[in-house]
Amino acid sequence: MNTLFDKIWDGHVVQHVPDGPDQLYVDRLYVHEVTSPQAFADMRRRGLKCFRPERIFCMPDHNTPTLNQEIPIADPVSRRQVETLEQNAKDFGLTHFGMCHPDNGIVHVVGPEQGLSLPGMTIVCGDSHTSTHGALGAVAFGIGTSEVEMALASQCILQAKPKSMRITVDGRLGHGVTAKDLALYIMSRITTSGATGHFVEYAGEAVRALSMEGRLTLCNLSIEMGARGGFIAPDDVTFAYVEGRPYAPQGQAWERAVAVWRTLKSDDDAVFDKEVRFDASDIEPMITFGTNPGMGIGITAPVPQPQNESDRKALQYMHFAAGSPLLGTPVDYVFLGACTNGRIEDFRAFAAVVRGRHKAEDVTAWLVPGSRRVAEQIRAEGLDRVLSEAGFEVRQPGCSACLAMNEDKVPAGKLCVSTSNRNFEGRQGPGARTCLASPLTAAAAAVTGCITDPRTLL
């Protein structure tokens, strides 16, 4: 009667603290430049070494510029954070994919594409969107700076076990409806607190039909509905994606691993603390109208009436009127990228819409691959030529305009259709306004200059 979450979590418990948390073993720790400096400083102060350095991988992503990465970073704060991570990795003997390293990129894109994130693992990082890695059938979640230090020093953390939740999506997604739309739809229905305190297992025909890139997008957004993390039981889609990747098992080790991974599923009679079910046929391309990811609507729907003062404040900030459609609203910026939608499939989708068309004159577009390997694939498939002919430029990898910790900031008052994961006030720059959407919807806005139903361009 065990859920898959129970099986993976309980299999990694070193000891249970009576009336307290579990001491949980960590298979993989990812480290970036923002949440790690204090953890490393405390390690030095206490004279500690990393317990299992071979299980720890470091890479900068938040502060990296997306142009001219070959020269020193202009912003002194960003430069110091990136350089500090490099020095810490060197001092503690950790693998470091530096800014110009061929394997560099956003940590939540690099981990899966390198085969570092694998089914059945426990994976942590000082970043909330660590839930992304759950797409491979792993228990992955974000941790705080003090827990980063715990993991560095002991390869364990102290963590209370979350409750379990299953979200089942029956049927198939319609034409032009993507994993991003599915995630935004779920959040619009259960709100940004609907999964609080739970670890979500996604199930159902619509979920199983997603590509691995789509599953990564869905799991990435788990944290935005309040969940501790989200994951999908591994299957043949998972195994086909992982096989042959640099850090994946090889040869006979691969066969043994897959045999184990095939057992990773919830029991038929498993009991979840919470169950929710949706019908995929109810979902159309989604877009947000407010200032949290749960404030989403179908792209053809009008902006709903505010239900409270928070809703009224959000509409005022976004300059949207209740009862009015978002279709046709002029757009200033378009951002394709982030750990949510910076993978090769996302660039293929964007290119499919803009092929034979041209970027709207008044739109500024930032197209940012999630990793250097994604950038290489864009060139290998000729997508860079398609995008260039349509008036777009592919930048260098990084978190970019997802969170405005680098040079890619949306100016105050400007409206951005973004494929990232958060639309909080000021998230993409002080005073910036953000509508979250899929790569297809972002591409439609980029070529029309306004919020557009992508199905009309497919």
Indicate the domain borders of the chain: 4-159, 163-282, 287-456
Interatomic CA distance for residues 333 and 315, integer angstroms: 19
CATH topology of domain 4-159: Aconitase; domain 3 (3.30.499)
H/E element holding 386? Answer: helix 383-389
Burial-class residue 306 by CB neighbours within 10 Å (0-12, 13-18, 19+): middle
CATH topology of domain 163-282: Aconitase; Domain 2 (3.40.1060)
H/E element holding 335? Answer: strand 333-336
What residues pair up with 298 in beta bridges, in sequence order?
286
In eight-state DSSP terms, residue 106 is -
Same CATH fold assignment for domains 4-159 and 287-456:
yes
Q: Considering only CA atoms, which of 402, 184, 216, 220 is closest in space to residue 294? A: 184
In eight-state DSSP terms, residue 315 is H
Mean pLDDT for 425-446 is 98
Interatomic CA distance for residues 274 and 166, integer angstroms: 6
Interatomic CA distance for residues 203 and 176, integer angstroms: 21
Interatomic CA distance for residues 95 and 98, integer angstroms: 9
Interatomic CA distance for residues 341 and 421, integer angstroms: 9
CA atoms within 13 A on the CB side of 48: 18
Mean pLDDT for 343-350 is 98
pLDDT digits (tens, 9 = 90+) for 263-285: 999 999 999 999 999 999 999 99
Interatomic CA distance for residues 205 and 66, integer angstroms: 38
Confidence of residue 401 (pLDDT cuts 50, 70, 90): very high
CA-to-CA dists, residue 193 to 162, 248, 293, angstroms: 14, 35, 11
**% of the chain at pLDDT higher than 90:** 98
Mean pLDDT for 365-394 is 98
Interatomic CA distance for residues 442 and 255, integer angstroms: 41
Residue 352, number of CB atoms within 10 A of its CB: 16
pLDDT of residue 404: 87
Q: Is the dihedral of CA 26, 38, 113, 292 positive or negative?
A: positive
H/E element holding 377? Answer: helix 372-380
Confidence of residue 214 (pLDDT cuts 50, 70, 90): very high
CATH superfamily of 287-456: Aconitase, domain 3 (3.30.499.10)
Q: 415 in helix, strand or coil?
A: strand
pTM given for the model = 0.97
pLDDT digits (tens, 9 = 90+) for 120-162: 999 999 999 999 999 999 999 999 999 999 999 999 999 999 9
Confidence of residue 40 (pLDDT cuts 50, 70, 90): very high
Q: Does pLDDT of 1 surpass 90? A: no
Mean pLDDT for 31-48 is 97
Residue 70, number of CB atoms within 10 A of its CB: 8
Q: Considering only CA atoms, which of 123, 135, 113 is closest in space to residue 217? A: 135
